[in-house]
């Protein structure tokens, strides 16, 4: 064999072996993981509500535990390390009922809103519960007798929080503002004008359809909530002092907004549903000081989404640019994420800005609880899953910064 | 701590590459000086021993399980049979010393079992699920051996020591599920829920390490037949630590994620060499005709005719 030929063969082989470079992102174990928090109890059922990243880089998961002796759920909190490994849990089943999303960081600790037995023995009073991470227990931080049947809570920019509630006796929805010192600041009430007990208590008891109750803040200091008002499930806007502004009126509880983020001025990013159809509106404009109708807000239909209106939207910076990330349950039992480029939305009048999609979960059915940004510029997704297709448990997905760049089409 | 481990691995990767590169150039230079080349085919069976160096799972327990059935039990080496088939190139520099390069297509198999149990605190309701996981890794093997032959007769015992560098071609995994569901009125184990999926992206695209072989060759007319036993000691993790949780399927208990795993592989092969001699022609010219290497008279006669 000619020496030149032999040399060529060696060169080709060397190139084949060493010339191929890999473009796999070199992640640390805390950058990307999937964890399902299982136990062996056949009768246990848990449902995820929220997740927050703690100061040590770990995660706090808020969940609901189904109880045998009450249609209201119990509280379930899990603490993990930064790789999602289980550290401890708190299951205070006797004092607390029906925790609602979300965790609120107030007064140096994570809190959440739930219900407790009131002075008359009825379970309806809203309370603020504190997660004591050092003692690994849940404590009562404050009782709010004026908040009945809390449905959702969220943090406000001034360090306080909003609580959406439902007063069964008065048939009213209420939006309450709590200050950063946990004091009750104001409450705005909305007459429902129709008995919606069945829909609301089915939601509270986790029976049949879950409704997209939520609260949030406007960029300019106002607030909004999605709750029953004036016969329908509607988004109601208030100013910084709780004064009523405009609304987005839905159609009973069969068609309304399922998630909403204020971008600026009259620009919003939202999703809506109509019966079993889900629509994404990455950029829509309306005046929040007047009454709008959900039918007038057009969006892109996403037929791959499951009929349940569980949608979350997050404004996230990726590589210095702002993106809108939607998370929703898909018909294939996964959680699907969509990314929209805000700059392209503005440039193209709300169109042609869909830049990527990805899915988390597989086969065993996953339901979105919340998505949050993480310290490493990644994303955490809290979900409920059904282990073995049967046992409902909490799950946590951590997406790496590279995963997010890929989602954003970068 | 984690960073140190990753750096440590990178260092080994670099060292491994340098070793293989050096081996290649040693092989190259030696081949050019070789007096005899044997080219042949080899094939046989192999048995893989998989050792988890660090365990991972997507499923974590919030209460200690009653039994450790969720922990993976790796199967014994001789339960993990695969096959290999390839080419054997041997360059004999002297009658004692040579080099052997044996590019081979090999399938390594290894398996493990685990299971999960859910039981009611009161009553008899329970569900037990057992998973039988089998991984198939298909590599192009590039082993390079120093070969030492201990006889020049018709029967030649030999020893080979060297290293190997495997390039992953594809990998797949099958999971067989067995359920005992006492909650739905059944008393029988249900079997047959089997999934077969690709996992190439979850594996490291290479496997390298040290290798050795012992064998015996039989010089028959026109062919040298060898029976060989070889051992490969993998020095890197076959699972890709960076893509471990990148597959959505890792969120299910029947798929889950792979452990950090080192591999040791034992191979038994039949090798058929067809020798070609160099430098045996007259006047020092190379002879490219096929000849039986120990039939020296034929070369001398051909040389004298010229």
User: Which positions in chain A touch B253 (Cβ < 8 Å)?
Assistant: 36, 38, 364, 387-388
Q: Verify whether the Cβ–Cβ distance A41 to B61 is below 8 Å.
A: no
In whole angstroms, give the CA distance from residue A106 to residue A130: 9
Q: Which of A10, A25, A39 shows the shortest C-beta gap to B28?
A: A10
Q: Which of B119, B245, B248 shows the shortest C-beta gap to A334?
A: B248
Is it the case that residue B18 has pLDDT exceeding 70? no
Q: Verify whether the Cβ–Cβ distance A364 to B65 is below 8 Å.
A: no
In whole angstroms, give the CA distance from residue A211 to residue A392: 19
State both tokens at B233. Answer: 């000691």
In whole angstroms, give the CA distance from residue A111 to residue A180: 12
Q: Verify whether the Cβ–Cβ distance B59 to A38 is below 8 Å.
A: yes
Bond prior to A102 in cis (omega within 30° of 0): yes
A390 at B interface, C-beta within 8 A: yes
Whole-number Cα distances in Å, B248 to A366, A379, B203 = 11, 15, 15
Q: CA geometry: angle at A248 spanning A245 and A251, to 5°? A: 140
A16 at B interface, C-beta within 8 A: yes
For chain B, the C-alpha Rg in angstroms (whole number) is 25
Contact A227, A203 (CB under 8 A): no
B243 at A interface, C-beta within 8 A: yes
State both tokens at A199. Answer: 């829909």
Q: How many CA atoms lie within 13 A of A220 on its CB side?
A: 10
| Confidence tier at B28 by pLDDT (50, 70, 90) | low
**pLDDT tens-digit readout, A265-304:** 999 999 999 999 999 999 999 999 999 999 999 999 999 9
Is it the case that residue B280 has pLDDT exceeding 80? no
pLDDT of residue B299: 41
Q: Verify whether the Cβ–Cβ distance B288 to A1 is below 8 Å.
A: yes
Q: Which of A14, A39, A42 shows the shortest C-beta gap to B126?
A: A42
Is it the case that residue B194 has pLDDT exceeding 90? no
Search chain B and give the residue with CA nearest A21: B205
Q: Verify whether the Cβ–Cβ distance A28 to B2 is below 8 Å.
A: yes
Interface of B with A in 9-48 (CB under 8 A): 17, 20-21, 24, 27-28, 31-32, 37
A387 at B interface, C-beta within 8 A: yes
pLDDT of residue A28: 93
In whole angstroms, give the CA distance from residue B132 to residue B118: 18
Q: How many CA atoms lie within 13 A of A166 on its CB side?
A: 26
Q: What is the DSSP string of A191-226?
A: E--S--HHHHHHHHTT-SPPP--EEEE-TTS-EEEE
User: Residue A327 burial (CB < 10 Å; 0-12/13-18/19+)?
Assistant: buried
User: Which positions in chain B touch A136 (Cβ < 8 Å)?
Assistant: none
- The predicted model scores a pTM of 0.89
Is it the case that residue B247 has pLDDT exceeding 60? yes
A3 at B interface, C-beta within 8 A: yes
Interface of B with A in 178-207 (CB under 8 A): 183, 205
Contact A383, A369 (CB under 8 A): yes
Search chain B and give the residue with CA nearest A37: B60
A35 at B interface, C-beta within 8 A: yes
Q: Which of A16, A43, A361 shows the shortest C-beta gap to B121?
A: A43
User: Which positions in chain B touch A359 (Cβ < 8 Å)?
Assistant: 248
**pLDDT tens-digit readout, B95-117:** 899 999 999 999 999 999 999 99
Pair type for strands A244-249 and A291-293: parallel
Q: What's chain B's average pLDDT? A: 83
Q: Verify whether the Cβ–Cβ distance A14 to B24 is below 8 Å.
A: yes
Which residues are CB-neighbours of B45 under 8 A, at least 6 positions away?
B81, B82, B83, B84, B267, B268
Instruction: Please measure the distance between the N-terminal and C-terminal CA atoms of chain A and give it in whole angstroms.
Output: 49
Instruction: Return the sign of the alpha-carbon dihedral for residues A94, A96, A101, A103.
Output: negative
A38 at B interface, C-beta within 8 A: yes
Search chain A and give the residue with CA nearest B2: A28
**Listed range (A138-147, A320-329, B49-58, B185-194) with the worst mean pLDDT:** B185-194
Is it the case that residue B300 has pLDDT exceeding 80? no
Is it the case that residue B13 has pLDDT exceeding 60? no
**pLDDT tens-digit readout, B129-170:** 999 999 999 999 999 999 999 987 889 999 999 999 999 999
pLDDT of residue B298: 46
Contact A310, A258 (CB under 8 A): yes
A65 at B interface, C-beta within 8 A: no
B142 at A interface, C-beta within 8 A: yes
Per-residue confidence in pLDDT tens, chain A, 410 aa: 455 565 556 556 555 555 455 578 899 999 999 999 999 999 999 999 999 999 999 999 999 999 988 899 999 999 999 999 999 999 997 789 999 999 999 999 999 999 986 556 667 889 999 999 999 999 999 999 999 999 999 999 999 999 999 999 999 999 999 999 999 999 999 999 999 999 999 999 998 778 999 999 999 899 999 999 999 999 999 999 999 999 999 998 899 999 999 999 999 999 999 999 999 999 999 999 999 999 999 999 999 999 988 999 999 999 999 999 999 999 999 999 999 999 999 999 888 999 999 999 998 899 999 999 999 999 999 999 999 889 999 999 999 999 999 999 99
Q: Verify whether the Cβ–Cβ distance B248 to A38 is below 8 Å.
A: no
A21 at B interface, C-beta within 8 A: no
| Confidence tier at B185 by pLDDT (50, 70, 90) | confident
Q: How far is A289 from chain B (nearest CA, A)?
A: 43
pLDDT of residue B289: 46
Pair type for strands A379-387 and A366-373: antiparallel
Q: Verify whether the Cβ–Cβ distance B251 to A361 is below 8 Å.
A: yes
Whole-number Cα distances in Å, A115 to A118, A183, A243, B17 = 9, 17, 26, 62
Instruction: Please measure the distance between the N-terminal and C-terminal CA atoms of chain B and give it in whole angstroms.
Output: 71
User: Which positions in chain B touch A30 (Cβ < 8 Å)?
Assistant: 2
pLDDT of residue B22: 54
Phi first, then psi: what are they for B234, rounded to 5°? Answer: -70, 140
Q: Which of A14, A34, A85 shows the shortest C-beta gap to B245?
A: A34
Q: How far is B58 from chain A (nearest CA, A)?
A: 5
């Amino acid at each position: 064999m000619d020496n030149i030929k032999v040399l060529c063969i060696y060169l080709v082989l060397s190139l084949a072996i060493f010339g191929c470079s890999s473009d796999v992102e070199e992640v640390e174990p805390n950058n990307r993981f999937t964890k399902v928090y299982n136990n062996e109890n056949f009768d246990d059922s848990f449902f995820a509500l929220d997740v927050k990243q703690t100061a040590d880089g770990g995660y706090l998961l808020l969940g609901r535990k189904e109880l045998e002796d009450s249609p209201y759920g119990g509280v379930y909190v899990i603490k993990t390390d930064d790789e999602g490994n289980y550290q401890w849990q708190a299951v205070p089943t006797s004092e607390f009922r029906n925790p609602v999303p979300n965790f609120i960081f107030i007064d140096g600790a994570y809190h959440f809103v739930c219900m407790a037995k009131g002075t008359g023995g009825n379970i309806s009073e809203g309370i603020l519960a504190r997660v004591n991470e050092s003692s690994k227990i849940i404590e009562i931080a404050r009782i709010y007798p004026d908040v009945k049947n809390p449905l959702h809570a969220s943090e406000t920019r001034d360090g306080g929080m909003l609580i959406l509630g439902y007063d069964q006796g008065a048939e009213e929805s209420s939006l309450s503002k709590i200050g950063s010192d946990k004091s009750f600041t104001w409450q705005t009430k909305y007459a429902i004008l129709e008995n919606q007990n069945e829909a609301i208590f089915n939601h509270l008891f986790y029976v049949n359809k879950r409704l997209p109750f939520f609260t949030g803040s406007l960029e300019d200091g106002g607030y909004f909530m999605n709750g029953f008002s004036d016969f329908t499930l509607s988004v109601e806007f208030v100013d910084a002092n709780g004064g009523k502004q405009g609304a987005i009126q839905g159609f009973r509880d069969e068609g309304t907004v399922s998630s909403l983020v204020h971008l600026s001025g009259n620009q919003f990013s939202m999703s809506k549903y109509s019966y079993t159809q889900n629509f994404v509106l990455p950029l829509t404009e309306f005046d929040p000081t007047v009454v709008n109708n959900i039918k007038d807000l057009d969006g892109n239909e996403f037929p791959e989404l499951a009929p349940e209106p569980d949608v979350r939207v997050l404004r996230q910076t990726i590589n210095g640019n702002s993106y809108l990330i939607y998370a929703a349950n898909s018909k294939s039992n996964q959680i699907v994420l969509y990314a929209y480029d805000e700059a392209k939305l503005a440039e193209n009048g709300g169109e042609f800005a869909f830049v990527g999609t990805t899915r988390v979960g597989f086969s065993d059915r996953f339901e979105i609880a919340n998505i949050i940004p993480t310290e490493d510029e990644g994303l955490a997704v809290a979900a409920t899953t059904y282990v073995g297709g049967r046992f409902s448990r909490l799950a946590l997905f951590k997406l790496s910064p590279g995963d997010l760049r890929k989602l954003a089409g970068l | 701590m984690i960073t140190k481990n990753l750096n440590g691995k990178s260092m080994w990767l670099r060292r491994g590459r340098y070793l293989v590169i050096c081996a290649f150039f040693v092989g190259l230079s030696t081949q050019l000086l070789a007096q005899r080349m044997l080219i042949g085919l080899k094939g046989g069976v192999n048995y893989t021993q998989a050792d988890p160096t660090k365990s991972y799972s997507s499923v974590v327990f919030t209460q200690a399980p009653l039994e450790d059935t969720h922990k993976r039990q790796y199967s014994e080496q001789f339960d993990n049979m695969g096959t290999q088939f390839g080419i054997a190139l041997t360059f004999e520099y002297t009658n004692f010393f040579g080099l052997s390069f044996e590019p081979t297509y090999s399938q390594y198999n290894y398996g493990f079992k685990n299971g999960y149990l859910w039981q009611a605190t009161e009553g008899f309701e329970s569900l037990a699920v057992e998973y039988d996981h089998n991984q198939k890794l298909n590599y192009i093997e590039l082993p390079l051996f120093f070969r030492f032959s201990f006889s020049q007769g018709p029967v030649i015992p030999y020893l080979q020591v060297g290293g190997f560098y495997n390039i992953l071609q594809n990998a797949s995994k099958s999971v067989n599920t067995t359920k005992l569901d006492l909650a739905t009125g059944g008393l029988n184990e249900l079997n047959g829920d089997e999934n077969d999926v690709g996992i190439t992206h979850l594996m490291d695209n290479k496997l390298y390490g040290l290798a050795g072989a012992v064998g015996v060759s039989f010089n028959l007319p026109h062919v040298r037949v060898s029976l060989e036993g070889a051992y490969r000691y993998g020095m890197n993790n076959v699972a890709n630590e960076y893509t471990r949780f990148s597959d959505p399927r890792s969120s299910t208990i029947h798929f889950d994620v792979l452990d950090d795993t080192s591999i040791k592989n034992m191979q038994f092969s039949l090798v058929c060499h067809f020798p070609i001699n160099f430098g045996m022609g007259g006047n020092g010219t190379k002879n490219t005709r096929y000849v039986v290497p120990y039939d020296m008279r034929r070369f001398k006669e051909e040389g004298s005719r010229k």
